Amino acid sequence: MTGPGAVALSALLALVHVGILAVGEHLLVGYLTGSDRRPYDHRYHRPGLAISGAIALARDELVAPDGLLGSRGHSLDFLVSETYGEEVTSILETAALWTRNVSAFIGPQETCVHEAKLAAAFNLPMISYYCTNYETSDKKEYPTFARTRPADTQISKSVAAVCREFNWTHVSFVSQADHVTDHVAEAILRALAAAGVHVAARSAWQDAYHHGYSENPFLDIVRDTHRDTRIYIILGGQDDHIGFLAAMESLHLFDNGEYWVVGVDAEEYSSDHAERYLRGLLRDATVRLQEELWWPAGQPPVAEPVCGFRGERCIRHTGEIAGGVAGSLLLLTLIAGLVVYRNWRYEQELDSLLWKVDFREIKMADASTPGANGAANGVANGHVQLNGQAERVKDKQADAPDGHQNHSPQPPLRTSQVSLSSNPDADFRYSCIYTTVGVYRGRVLAVKKLGKTSIDITRAVKKELKLMRDLRHDNLNAFIGACVDPPNVCIVTEYCTRGSLKDILENEDVKLDNMFIASLVGDILRGMIFLHDSPLRFHGNLKSSNCLVDSRWVVKVADFGLHELKRGADDAGGATLLQQLQLHHLHRANNNHDQDTPCKCDGLLYRAPELLRAALAAPRGSQKGDVFAFGVVLYEIQGRHGPYGDCALAVDEVLRRVLHPEPGQPPYRPPLDSLENSFDFVRECLQECWAEDPELRPDLKAVRARLRPLRKGMKPNIFDNMIAMMEKYANNLEVLVDERTDQLQQEKRKTEALLYEMLPRCVADQLKRGQKVQAESFDSVTIYFSDIVGFTAMSAQSTPLQVVDFLNDLYTCFDSTIGHFDVYKVETIGDAYMVVSGLPVRNGDAHAAEVASMSLQLLEAVKTFRIRHRPGDALQLRIGIHSGPVCAGVVGLKMPRYCLFGDTVNTASRMESNGLPLRIHCSAECAALLQRIGGYELADRGLVRIKGKGDVRTYWLLGESEERRAARQGRKGSPGRVFVGAGSPGGAEGGDGGMLSVIVDPSHLSASCPAIDHLQLPAPLLCPPTPQQQLSAQRHELFQNVVREVIVLLSYEYVSKPVITFPCENYPRVLFRPDSGEN
């Protein structure tokens, strides 16, 4: 038996262990072949045709009487299944053969992965004579699969080994675009990649090539790739290899031996293999190497030429070198010229004085100059409005040198750094530094006086000023310029509207959460790190009052640099101050410094100990000193209680302990116990920043790294953080505005209550709305006048304070009494007391009854009144009342008064002056009204001569009936029903004796009248109006709502008051009288 099929069949019989079969056993083998093709598939080359004959021959030899199976009485048959070279068909046929109880499989051809998986699942042997897929080599996954043809990986390993042997790391791969050889090509490419061989180009040809009979497709491939490769690997048949070599030869690529082709034969079967096998089997010879492999160039070609594929590595650079040398010389010349020009320009900039500001161009903000963007809202008489808060400002003489007023006729705008305080009189320990705000070229800027009358502009000063002007950073307060013209020597910087960081920390209304604190600390660190990396190198005066906050809540570090300019100034650094205070022996009890000295001393709390000790040498500062100062500022931000917390020690004592630590004790530092809510890493960072040895303190970049956890939860985008911080501030501001609004409303209610006590409610409401109160005429009112008989004599015998106390007690008694009546107190002059009823809200004819009942009540109250400083004296009250028309209106702009005009006022006064003590003198007009109302006892006095009237009949009011008094005091009846109608109170008395009379004028209702239904009231309590007063549906509903509230007020607050006046001007005037009975 020869051929792959026969070999496969023999191997299969060995697998099934023929020896264990019983005698006469019939074997059934499934044969999966690709011997045919679909009608539409003309490209399939049907490899099964070359194998099926060998399979049949092997079967005949096996079942022959002397064969391996026939000698044992066995028989063998095949079940042939056509797959057409299709994987799906092959899988289906494999499963179909299993259902027919085959003992083994021969095949399949092109595909075998899934078929081998099925054979493993069926536990049946499968031998393929054609499939070369490398996946089936894994015997753990495919234990029953075997094949007679090596896998693709075998040939690919050989190709990779050849490339490694000759160090060919850069190749091009050529293969046919055929699905039969695609898997072999992929295996070769994988092996090359695993061996570290770079495939520069992969090309393919389409149709099968027959040398000498078809057009050579390799010419184009070689032309496109030969410039960038030297080693080719071609996968194809014999004709393909010949055609590829012919194409390369036509381009003369083999002339110098630089190119080489590695051929991989893709043919499945060749008779030459069988001949070589037979030759080796039948021939016995010894083989030895006679000569080495011959290379055209004498050595194997290299994968990449020494000079590169295009000679780029061996290009001579003579011209470039010459050009480079010339260019270098030119560059050096340019650099030298640039250095000379830069120095010249630097000197020109120093001499140009770009930093210089003309003081006359600065317009100091005043009451008439609000400034730009509303930053400064005005100043007058030592007050300034900043950010909506008024701050009283001190006028320091040191900040206003002589001659300043000659240049600025208006007083400068003094702004305290405590600009966010809600209390204008707040006493802050650190609010002693002031600045001046002015407008310079349309910008609101801060102007800081140096307290120097003159200054020498040396080169060092010019360099400082130029350096300051060139420094720009988002977290540094921008330096605008300086004015050096005596006597106005000052520094002009950017103005920050929210004041300093100290102001914010001391303002309890500003809430600082972790994100807010992290943003503030981050801004300070960024500004200080930039400052340390700049030519300035250090700050030297860092403190919370020098950390300014702009309108976007960005912190800007200020008051740095300009040491030469500030030298000799009154407030230049701490060296001069320490010399003046004699710091080592400082005592507040006997110092001779001005009142600002303690406040300036507070700034020394931020200075490092080594800088304080070297103060006499006037040190400007150091980076390690800035680290110490930053630690104090960070402590102040965390605790919000100043640089040393709630320490009770004086500033000089704190400085003494910092300067002179106690032996054996740690250096004196701010207490960390007050930072209970701070993070541990913040405390550790503070301790490192406060180290006594400056070398042990970290730099600010290390501090920023230690404080990075503070930014946990913050967004990486700075703009997003700014928006979030502004939102938090807006929310905090909303809460603050709500609190302030509530306080304002409370104060407003107090003011309104006081105003309503001074003026009638309707008149006060008109004045509040800014309306002019028109004088109004009233047809009928009743006026009450009273005075104290003998008041002048008693006043002469009493002290002024006793008289004031007496009148206050008396009028307090009167005021509490008249509150139960529908009357209005007009005024009190000395012992005179004036009351009116019937205005400004008309009440029909009830005014006479209201005043009469009130007069009787006052007379009863006077009888029991006792004078504090003269308890044995009885008060002699004289009362006069009169009814008639008057005109009423508001008089005056300052302290306006509601005054009554007309003859009725004079007549009422005459009634009082012509009366008798403890008697009520009543005019005939008032008596007529009382008689018409009924319930009052009157006595005819006769004719009385009245000034300006002649003889006039008058009456004495002696009392009121028990029924009227009982009805007014509410001792009888029951307010079980409500009657709603129109007319006077007397008109309602003819009804039910136990009825509560509520008289409402529906014409006073308006659509804007509020109605508050406090109780669930039964519907029968509300009676509709009379037919003569039909209302619209809307006004009728408002009318009912008003009545509901009247019942509520009657039930709780106004039970004993016979008259109700609603607080809203849109409510109607409501009069009621509870009938006698228990409420």
Q: Which range is most confident: 96-105, 549-558, 599-608, 1060-1069?
A: 96-105
Domain identity same for 41 and 164: no
Q: Is residue 201 part of a domain?
A: yes
Q: Helix 49-63 vs helix 3-15: angle between axes, to the nearest 10 degrees?
A: 50
Q: Indicate whether 177 and 98 sit together in one domain.
A: no
**Is there a contact between 404 and 487 (Cβ–Cβ < 8 Å)?**
yes
Distance from C-alpha of 618 to C-alpha of 813, rounded to nearest angstrom: 75
pLDDT value for 270: 63
Per-residue pLDDT at 848 exceeds 70: yes
Same structural domain, 637 and 707? yes
Q: What is the pLDDT of residue 4?
A: 55
Contact 493/446 with Cβ under 8 angstroms?
yes
Give the rounded percent of residues in the chain with a pLDDT score beyond 70: 75
For residues 145 and 273, state if they share a domain. no
pLDDT at site 212: 85
Q: Which of 16-25, 685-694, 824-833, 973-982 has the highest mean pLDDT?
A: 685-694
Instruction: Tell me the DSSP string of 306-364.
Output: TT-TTSGGG---HHHHHHHHHHHHHHHHHHHHHHHHHHHHHHHHHHHTTTB--GGGEEE
From first CA to last CA, the distance across the chain in angstroms is 132
The span from the CA of 1021 to the CA of 58, in Å, is 121
Strand ranges (E), 358-424: 362-364, 379-380, 383-386, 389-392, 413-416
613-641 residue pLDDT tens: 886 555 678 999 999 999 999 999 998 88
CATH number at residue 102: 3.40.50.2300
Whether residue 657 sits in one domain with residue 697 = yes
Peptide bond preceding 108: is omega within 30 degrees of 0, i.e. cis?
A: yes
Q: What is the pLDDT of residues 96-114, one digit of tens each?
A: 999 999 999 998 988 899 9
Q: Which residue has the higher pLDDT, 459 or 400?
A: 459
Q: Which residue has the tokens 């500062």?
A: 621
**Rounded CA separation 287/74 (Å):** 47
Proportion of the chain above pLDDT 90, given as a percent? 24
Instruction: List, for residues 952-988, the tens digit of each pLDDT value.
Output: 899 999 888 877 766 655 533 333 333 333 333 333 3
What pLDDT, on the 0 to 100 scale, is given for residue 1042?
56
Distance from C-alpha of 494 to C-alpha of 500, rounded to nearest angstrom? 13
pLDDT value of residue 460:
83
For 850-868, what is the mean pLDDT? Answer: 88
pLDDT digits (tens, 9 = 90+) for 458-492: 888 888 888 898 899 999 999 999 998 888 888 99
Residue 307 lies in a domain: no
One domain, residues 569 and 689? yes
Q: Please check whether residue 45 lies inside any domain of the structure.
A: yes
What is the pLDDT, as a whole number, of residue 1039? 54
Among 185-199, 379-393, 756-770, 1046-1060, top mean pLDDT goes to: 185-199
Q: Which two tokens stand for residue 529?
A: 């790190």
For residues 848 and 908, is the Cβ–Cβ distance under 8 A?
no
In a domain, 183, yes or no: yes
Residue 242 belongs to some domain of the structure: yes
The pLDDT score that the predictor gives to residue 275 is: 75
Q: Which of 129, 149, 169 is a domain's end point? A: 149
Q: Are residues 864 and 901 in the same domain?
A: yes
Using the 3D structure, point to which of 960, 983, 1015 is the last residue of a domain: 960
Q: Determine how many CB atoms are found less than 10 A away from the CB of residue 917.
A: 14
For the ranges 52-61, 252-261, 827-836, 990-999, which has the lowest average pLDDT?
990-999
Categorize the per-residue pLDDT at 232 as very low, low, confident or very high, splitting at 50, 70 and 90.
Answer: very high
Q: Highest mean pLDDT: which of 6-10, 226-230, 434-438? A: 226-230
- Given a cut of 60, whether residue 774 has pLDDT beyond it is yes
Helix 623-639 to helix 680-689 angle (10° resolution) is: 150
> Does 101 lie in the same domain as 78?
yes
Name the band, by pLDDT with cuts 50, 70 and 90, for residue 579: low
Residue 511 located in a structural domain: yes
In a domain, 5, yes or no: no
The lowest-confidence range among 195-209, 294-308, 386-400, 954-968 is: 386-400
Query: Could you report the per-residue pLDDT of 906-921, keeping only the tens digit for each?
Result: 999 888 888 898 889 9
Same domain, 870 and 939: yes
For the stretch 281-332, pLDDT in tens is: 777 777 777 777 788 888 889 988 888 888 777 877 778 888 889 999 999 9
Mean predicted confidence (pLDDT) in 424-432? 34
pLDDT surpasses 50 at 993: no
- Do 206 and 138 share a structural domain? no
Question: Average pLDDT of 182-211?
Answer: 89
pLDDT of residue 423 exceeding 70, the answer is no
b/e code 441-468 from CB counts within 10 Å (16+ = b): eeebbbbbbbbbeebeeeeebbebbbbb
pLDDT of 245 strictly over 80:
yes
CB 464 within 8 A of CB 450: no
Find the CATH number of the domain harbouring 908.
3.30.70.1230
Q: Could you tell me the CATH number of the domain that includes residue 445?
A: 1.10.510.10
CA distance 412 to 396: 12
Per residue in 498-554, pLDDT tens? 889 998 888 887 778 788 888 889 999 999 999 999 999 999 899 999 999 988 888
Residues 110 and 156 in one domain: no
Residue 858 has pLDDT above 80, yes or no: yes
pLDDT band with cut points at 50, 70 and 90 for residue 388: very low
Based on the fold, state whether residues 118 and 237 are members of the same structural domain.
Answer: no
pLDDT band, very low/low/confident/very high, at 80 (cuts 50, 70, 90): very high
Asked if pLDDT for residue 431 goes beyond 70, the answer is no
More confident residue, 181 or 910: 910
Domain annotation covers residue 314: no
Of 966, 924, 933, 969, the closest CA to residue 821 belongs to 969
Average pLDDT, the chain: 76
Write the burial class of residue 188 (CB in 10 Å: 0-12 exposed, 13-18 middle, 19+ buried): buried
* Cα distance between residue 220 and residue 201, in whole Å: 13
Q: What is the pLDDT of residue 528?
A: 95
pLDDT in the model for residue 160:
92
What single DSSP character describes residue 1053?
T
Cβ proximity of 303 and 170 under 8 Å: yes
Boundary (domain end) residue, out of 126, 149, 172: 149
- Whole-number pLDDT of residue 1059: 36
- Total domains in the chain come to 4
Helix/strand/coil (H, E, C) string of 828-866?
A: EECCEEEEEECCCCCCCCHHHHHHHHHHHHHHHHHHCCC
Calculate the CA 459 to chain-centre distance: 48
Task: Name the residue range of residue 857's domain.
Answer: 779-960
Kindly tell me if the per-residue pLDDT of 207 is higher than 80. yes
Mean pLDDT confidence for 679-705: 92
Task: Give the span between the Cα atoms of 655 and 624, in whole angstroms.
Answer: 19
